[in-house]
Amino acid sequence: MGFNIAGTDKKRIVIIGGGFGGLKLANRLKGSNFQIVLIDKNNYHQFPPLLYQVASSGLESSSISFPFRKIFQKRKDFFFRLAEVQAVVREKNLILTSIGELKYDYLIIASGTVTNFFGNEVIEKQTLPMKTIEEALILRNTLLSNFEKATICTDPQEKQALMNVVIVGGGATGVEISGVLAEMKHFVLPKDYPDLKQSEMNIYLVEGSPHLLAAMSEEASDNAKRFLEGMGVKVMLQKKVVDYKDDKVILDDDSSIETKTVVWV
Ligand SMILES: Cc1cc2nc3c(=O)[nH]c(=O)nc-3n(C[C@H](O)[C@H](O)[C@H](O)COP(=O)(O)OP(=O)(O)OC[C@H]3O[C@@H](n4cnc5c(N)ncnc54)[C@H](O)[C@@H]3O)c2cc1C
């Protein structure tokens, strides 16, 4: 086990993470006078802009994941290693990983970010983030299994909690997932779940600031709100989620929404 990488006279560049940044750099370094080692904890590159399609069953995960070994076929003095990087020892030019240690001459850290739960452990444990293919598939399975449970549920309150979806965060991802779930409600639910009433599925999009898509123009923000509301999404601005317990999302004005599906984006 270990890295088992052939010795070379060239300087070694280690890239941690084959996401957008790491992959672009590795491609740019093609033909350079360096040995390249790309390390990722997955053996595939993923394309996050279409994660919402995987979460809503519109696309299979294989359509947005690309094996590194296929991308880098025939590259000379290039090594991919499947490993999780655990620490960097800068004074020794060394990284510690799940498959052992590796020396580098230059180190590029392109390991992306993690979802911010603002330190709330309950929310972290019980809500569904959507940054990776794995998380998108968990969300897809949760939605579908909740619909299945709703078809046989005889308790109206429990059924409503199964049919309500709360999306927290009105940035690009929150807007995309709300929109695609509204499409699912209108076009998939009536065909695939004829026992469920379309009107029973509620999609709430909760955003703390006064605007959706706060990083974009006011026009884009207003249009997004108008389109989503036109599709039946309940857009709630200037409301913050403070807790999630007993299948209830608690807002900062002390109101609550019953749901078994909270998407944290
Ligand atoms: C749902 C969603 C939709 C998005 N839509 C868009 C869009 O439409 N347009 C746009 O421009 N941007 C979009 N983004 C943002 C975009 O995906 C990120 O800005 C971009 O992926 C960041 O690139 P990165 O290389 O820094 O990190 P990432 O692409 O996240 O890559 C990080 C890589 O590092 C690996 N890694 C992490 N930790 C370790 C470790 N310890 N050891 C080994 N490997 C590790 C991961 O497996 C991953 O492959 C979206 C993001 C999300 C979540």
Q: Is 258 a catalytic residue?
A: no
Q: Which one of 135, 176, 207, 258 is the catalytic residue?
A: 176
Neighbours of 218 (CB within 10 A): 10
Q: What pLDDT is stored for residue 50 in this prediction?
A: 97
How far is C-alpha 215 from the geometric centre of its chain's CA atoms? 19
**What's CA 128's distance to the chain center, in Å?**
9
Contact 39 CB / ligand 1 (< 6 Å): yes
Question: Which residue range(s) make up the domain with 32?
Answer: 11-109
Do residues 129 and 240 both lie within one domain? yes
Residues 6+ apart with CB under 8 A from 209: 170, 237, 238
Report the distance separating Cα 197 and Cα 162, nearest Å.
Answer: 13
Is the shortest distance between the CB of 64 and ligand 1 below 6 Å?
no
Q: Atom 41, ligand 1: which residue's CA is nearest?
A: 85
Q: Domain check: are 129 and 77 in the same one?
A: no
Answer with the one of 48, 83, 109 that is the final residue of a domain.
Answer: 109
Q: Decide: 25 in ligand 1 pocket, CB within 6 A.
A: no
Query: From the CB of 17, is ligand 1 less than 6 Å away?
Result: yes
- Quick check: is 188 in a domain? yes
Residue 48 C-alpha to ligand 1 middle, in angstroms?
7
Ligand 1 contacts CB of residue 130 (under 6 A):
yes
205 plus 246 within the same structural domain = yes
Query: In this structure, what DSSP letter does residue 30 have?
Result: T
CATH number at residue 153: 3.50.50.60
If you measure from the C-alpha of residue 47 to the centroid of ligand 1, how many angstroms do you get, rounded to a whole number? 8
pLDDT (tens digit, 9 = 90+) per residue, 70-87?
999 999 999 999 999 999
Which neighbouring-strand residues pair with 249?
244, 257
Q: How far apart are CA 207 and CA 251, in angstroms?
A: 11
Instruction: Calculate how far, in angstroms, residue 244's C-alpha sits from the geometric centre of ligand 1.
Output: 27
Domain count along the chain: 2
What does the angle CA 205 – CA 249 – CA 256 come to, to the nearest 5 degrees?
A: 90
The pLDDT of residue 6 is 86
Nearest CA to ligand 1 atom 51: 48
Low-confidence spans in the chain with pLDDT less than 70: none
Cα–Cα distance for residue pair 137/51, rounded to 1 Å: 9
- Both 239 and 186 in one domain: the answer is yes
